């Protein structure tokens, strides 16, 4: 999905440190790289995982993928920390409900064009 949207995307050889992929974004001062963690399920409300530590990395992005609808929601490091603080739960930190999913949509978090704009700054 990221590659189809024109992102320069690299897959990792091993799943290490919660990094599933890396994207490269060109900037005048040189390229920037962003670590991507992907969490997916048949529905957003079934996505679970420990991601609180991801929010501590300034170059982190979280991709939440609904495989039934093929919809993707994204969050940057600041949003990961704010929306999904560490809970200490065995189920992880990610808990989505319909109102949060709708809020993320309204913020444009389902638009890869919006992500591209944010990363280009």
Query: Do the beta carbons of residue 36 and residue 65 sit within 8 Å?
Result: no
CA angle 70, 73, 76 (to 5 degrees): 150
Residue 60 has which token pair? 């982190």
- What local confidence, expressed as pLDDT, does residue 4 receive? 87
Give the C-alpha separation, 62 to 19, whole Å: 10
H/E stretch holding 111 reads none
* CA-only gyration radius of the chain, Å: 14
**pLDDT tens digits, one per residue of 4-53:** 888 999 988 877 677 889 999 998 899 999 999 999 999 998 888 877 67
**pLDDT tens digits, one per residue of 81-109:** 888 877 777 777 788 889 999 999 999 99
Right CATH for 8-120 from 3.40.1350, 2.60.40, 1.20.1070, 3.30.450? 3.40.1350
């Amino acid at each position: 999905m990221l590659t189809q949207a024109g992102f320069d995307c690299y897959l990792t050889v091993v799943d290490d440190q919660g990094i599933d992929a890396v994207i490269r974004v060109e900037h005048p001062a040189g390229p920037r790289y962003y670590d991507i963690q992907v969490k997916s399920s048949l529905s957003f409300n079934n996505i679970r995982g420990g991601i609180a530590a991801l929010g501590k990395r300034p170059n982190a992005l979280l991709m939440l993928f609904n495989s039934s609808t093929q919809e993707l929601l994204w969050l940057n490091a600041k949003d990961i920390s704010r929306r999904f603080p560490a809970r200490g739960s065995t189920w992880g930190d990610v808990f989505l409900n319909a109102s949060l999913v709708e809020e993320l949509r309204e913020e444009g978090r389902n638009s890869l064009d919006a992500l591209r704009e944010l990363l280009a700054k």
